[in-house]
Amino acid sequence: MAHAYTPGLRVAARTRVAQTRRLPLKGKVLVEKGAVVTEDTVVARTELPGNVQAVKAASLLGVHQQDLETYMLKMVGDPVQKDEPIAMAKSFFGLFKSQVKSPVTGTIEVVSGVTGQIMLREPPIPVEVNAYISGTVTEVISEEGVVVETVGAFIQGIFGVGGESSGVLVPVVQAPDEELSPDLLRPEHRDHIVIGGSGVHREAVDRARQLGVRGIGVAGIDDADVRQILGYE
């Protein structure tokens, strides 16, 4: 990491903290303005469109693509189960049959007489957004999300790996220049966020994962350890 950071990050012992919690696309907001929420409260929910699977049905049946629709056992909009026959062709007076089975559970979205393909849409993927912080809903963004506010300490970090997390903060070192070593982590730290000192190495991160620690906060980490933890640059 060939970067140098200058001081300027915000640290406040007591301040108003606001978090905007927004869905990736429009859905349903589940709380009202003024509601008191915890970090785990689901405040909004939506569904992402499922993945699309293409099946070269005409080729598999050995028929012309323009005639594909006449061989369909299921029509556009019909639900299907994985391995369920969705198209069939018969030959030699019905003695031989060719079937196309659905590779996924989902819905038939397109039957193309141009490409000879059947497009299947997998089930929608549910997406939920939680409040992330305990506080009060001060604003509702119609069909998108909310703003949650609270009063608390605020310490702005500069680099993070692993996404959002929450838990009780537990200091595990005695001095700011002390490294967070694996032996400082214990079973009682499960579901907590541990606070170390000068830094942390991969061995301690691995130990934290084994114990179910929700997060680590330290002054720094070596870029080589980050690569090993993530498995990529």
Torsion of CA 24, 26, 30, 32, to 10 degrees: 110
The helix/strand/coil state of 10 is coil
Inside any domain, residue 89: yes
The distance from CA 121 to its chain's CA centroid, rounded to whole angstroms, is 20
Inside any domain, residue 148: yes
**Which residues, in sequence order, are CB contacts of 49 under 8 Å at separation 6+?**
121, 124, 125
Domain identity same for 35 and 135? yes
Inside any domain, residue 2: no
pTM over 0.95? The answer is: no
The 10s digit of each residue's pLDDT in 60-79 is 999 999 999 999 999 999 99
Q: Total domain count for the chain?
A: 3
Inside any domain, residue 16: yes
Closest by CA to 21, choosing from 163, 128, 115, 95, is 128
Domain identity same for 117 and 84? yes
Domain identity same for 61 and 75? yes
Counting residues of the chain whose pLDDT is more than 70, the rounded percentage is 95
Look up the domain containing 166 and give its range.
159-233
Domain identity same for 84 and 140? no
Closest by CA to 37, choosing from 131, 157, 100, is 131
The 10s digit of each residue's pLDDT in 172-206 is 999 999 999 999 999 999 999 999 999 999 999 99
Domain identity same for 79 and 92? yes
Inside any domain, residue 14: yes
Domain identity same for 23 and 133? yes
Distance CA 90, CA 70 (A): 12
Inside any domain, residue 3: no
